Amino acid sequence: MKKHIPNAVTLLNLLCGSIAVLFAVYGNMKYAALFVFLGIFFDFFDGLLARKLKVQSELGLQLDSLADMVTSGLVPGIVMFQLINLSQRSGWNMTDFQEVTWSGNSYLPFLGLLITLASAYRLAKFNISTNQSDSFIGLPTPANTLLILSLPLIMEFQNNDLMNSIILNTWVLIGITFLSCYLLNAKIPLLALKFKTLNFKDNASRYVLIILSAVLLIVFQFAGIPLIMLLYILLSLVFRS
């Protein structure tokens, strides 16, 4: 019976991701983000449960990637589509995602779906990789998803004119899209937040990342998430060098 528990948690991730897709399609970014966060929460605990219960399996590995493909692959692609689409509409309120539909006059918003393709490629590589147990090669899809989801949340909750104008610049968004696709599949070793012990010496980089991330979130709120991703990459390079 216990062997089914981690897979049930993985399916909760998939359920949350599916709900997030629906909200993202209809432009409700707050609820899309909420269900993505829940999905990523379940994604963290399914592997932890599998290890604790000693029921790791090939089925669980494949199911985990399929769930991540929806929660951390399809959703950020749709969100970027919506952002680029909104960026091409002059005079719209920055948070009026639900009021904007695709006009068919520009195909640039479809570039956002490159994130979905890059995520699929990254997950497929991860499944056949043998050297990503203690670290990741390239930005993990959940981290990339948090980065993309932070953009509409910054506009929704912080509503700063300068930040909004930067985020809703079409070419900035396209640049973020290509950067996201690169980071997902770049051969850059990045920290995995897996604690084998609670010893500070063995986990110094992880503790530093968690503490500084908390500070950035408190100070900058949702605008701190892109800074956390930058910090994550920099700390990984420093502690790996």
Asked whether 6 and 67 are in contact (CB, 8 A), the reply is no
**Host domain of residue 86:** 2-190
Q: Is residue 174 part of a domain?
A: yes
The residues near 156 (Cβ < 8 Å, ≥ 6 apart) are 29, 30, 95
Q: Is residue 213 part of a domain?
A: no
pLDDT in tens, 113-166: 999 999 999 999 988 877 666 678 899 999 999 999 999 999 999 988 899 999
The span from the CA of 97 to the CA of 27, in Å, is 5
Q: Is residue 204 part of a domain?
A: no
pLDDT at residue number 28: 94
The span from the CA of 114 to the CA of 177, in Å, is 7
Q: Is residue 203 part of a domain?
A: no
What is the percentage of the chain residues whose pLDDT exceeds 70? Answer: 85
Q: 190 pairs with which residues across the strands?
A: 136
Q: Is residue 233 part of a domain?
A: no
Instruction: Give the containing element (helix H, strand E) for 176.
Output: helix 170-185
Q: Is residue 214 part of a domain?
A: no
* Residue 58 in this model has a pLDDT that exceeds 90: no
Q: Is residue 46 part of a domain?
A: yes
3 state DSSP class of 200:
coil
Structure tokens at 121: 């490629």
Q: How confident is the model at residue 93 (pLDDT cuts 50, 70, 90)?
A: low
3 state DSSP class of 136:
strand
What CATH number does residue 111 fall under?
1.20.120
Q: Is residue 72 part of a domain?
A: yes
Q: 191 pairs with which residues across the strands?
A: 135
Domain count, the chain: 1
pLDDT in tens, 10-37: 999 999 999 999 999 999 999 999 999 9
Sign of the alpha-carbon dihedral angle for 20, 23, 26, 27: negative
